[in-house]
């Protein structure tokens, strides 16, 4: 069966920013790409069409990362219909700035943990049962998982740091199957989440060795390297790609 030669890639948060570029990159690298999103139905359809017009495959699903049963069910149904997930990329995330930490409450905690952390656990659990040897898991953290800089993104830093321990331990848990698990930690990348002309942009640039925002393609290139055979021996690694902001 010819279909079995096409690899399957599952990406959370594929409609905008880094996730959209990941969808484009891996479709171009001849993966059959499945991606999720929360709200951007119009963008999802446009992206599917754009990729289909190139003779490539991408399919979007409106599945909120806050719905773990739906997320898990989606992965199981993809595996049933199209075969195992070869490459899983946990990209969807939220970043909330809060000037006064006293205003944070339990529902803020739950939202951030559900999307940035719990959904990662959920997709991995759903995908690994059937993941082939030499499968790949790539989580997207943040350079703020290493250095917080200030006190306005407390829950963001908490969830992104938690991905470090999770990634390292899962690399050990899956290493015998030659599945690699890595964490990419971007610094400021120009997206809706972090426009390069927002009021904080100059503050962020002031810390960077290369005083400019990164491009979503920079992150996709690193992900493509990790997914390729060149990445066979890279696992449990936390790879920061931040223009030297944390250096
Ligand atoms: P954007 O806000 O530009 O895009 C977020 C994407 O994730 C969208 O496709 C969005 O879907 C989707 N998404 C958000 N929440 C959910 C949810 N609850 N369920 C399903 N999908 C969801 O983000 P970026 O591209 O900037 O960031 C991507 C990742 O990179 C995140 O994990 C972020 O923390 C990380 N990162 C980004 C940095 C940056 O400077 N941009 C720096 C460091 C890390 P929809 O369009 O439907 O809303």
Report how far residue 52's alpha carbon sits from residue 149's, in angstroms, rounded to the nearest whole number: 42
The pLDDT value recorded for residue 5 is: 79
How many whole angstroms separate alpha carbon 179 and alpha carbon 233? Answer: 10
Nearest to 9 by CA among 69, 60, 62, 70: 60
Contact 36, 61 (CB under 8 A): yes
Residue ranges per domain, the chain?
A: 2-241
**Residue from 31, 156, 166, 213 carrying the catalytic annotation:** 156
Fold that domain 2-241 belongs to in CATH: Rossmann fold (3.40.50)
In this prediction the ipTM stands at 0.99
% the chain with pLDDT above 70: 98
Ligand 1, atom 41, lies closest to the CA of: 189
Q: What is the mean pLDDT of residues 205-217?
A: 98
Question: What pLDDT, in 10s, does the model give residues 10-35?
Answer: 999 999 999 999 999 999 999 999 99
Instruction: Compute how many other C-beta atoms are within 10 angstroms of the C-beta atom of residue 71.
Output: 23
pTM of the model: 0.98
| Residue from 149, 29, 139 nearest 90 by CA | 139
156 annotated active-site: yes
**What are 233's strand-pairing partners?**
none
Q: Which atom of ligand 1 is nearest to the CA of 190?
A: 41
The single residue listed with the structure tokens 């199209």 is 82
Nearest CA to ligand 1 atom 29: 91
Token pair of 106 as six digits: 């339990």
């Amino acid at each position: 069966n010819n279909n079995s030669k096409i690899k399957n890639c599952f990406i959370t948060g594929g409609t905008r920013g880094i996730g959209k570029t990941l969808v484009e990159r891996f479709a171009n690298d001849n993966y059959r790409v499945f991606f999720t999103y929360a709200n951007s139905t119009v963008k999802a359809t446009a992206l599917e069409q754009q990729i289909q017009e190139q003779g490539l495959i991408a399919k979007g699903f409106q599945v909120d990362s806050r719905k773990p049963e739906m997320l898990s069910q989606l992965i199981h149904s993809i595996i049933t219909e199209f075969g195992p997930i070869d490459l899983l990329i946990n990209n969807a995330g939220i970043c909330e700035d809060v000037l006064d930490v006293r205003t944070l409450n339990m529902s803020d905690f739950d939202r951030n943990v559900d999307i940035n952390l719990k959904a990662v656990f959920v997709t991995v659990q759903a995908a690994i049962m059937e993941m082939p040897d030499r499968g790949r898991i790539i989580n997207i953290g943040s350079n703020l998982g290493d250095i917080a800089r200030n006190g306005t993104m407390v829950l963001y830093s908490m969830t992104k740091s938690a991905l470090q321990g999770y990634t390292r331990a899962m690399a050990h848990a899956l290493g015998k199957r030659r599945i690699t698990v890595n964490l990419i930690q971007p610094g400021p990348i120009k997206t809706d989440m972090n426009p390069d002309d927002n009021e904080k942009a100059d503050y962020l640039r002031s810390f960077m060795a290369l005083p400019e925002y990164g491009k979503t393609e920079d992150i996709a290139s690193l992900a493509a390297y990790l997914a390729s055979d060149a990445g066979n021996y890279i696992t449990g690694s936390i790879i920061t790609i931040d223009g030297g902001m944390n250096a």
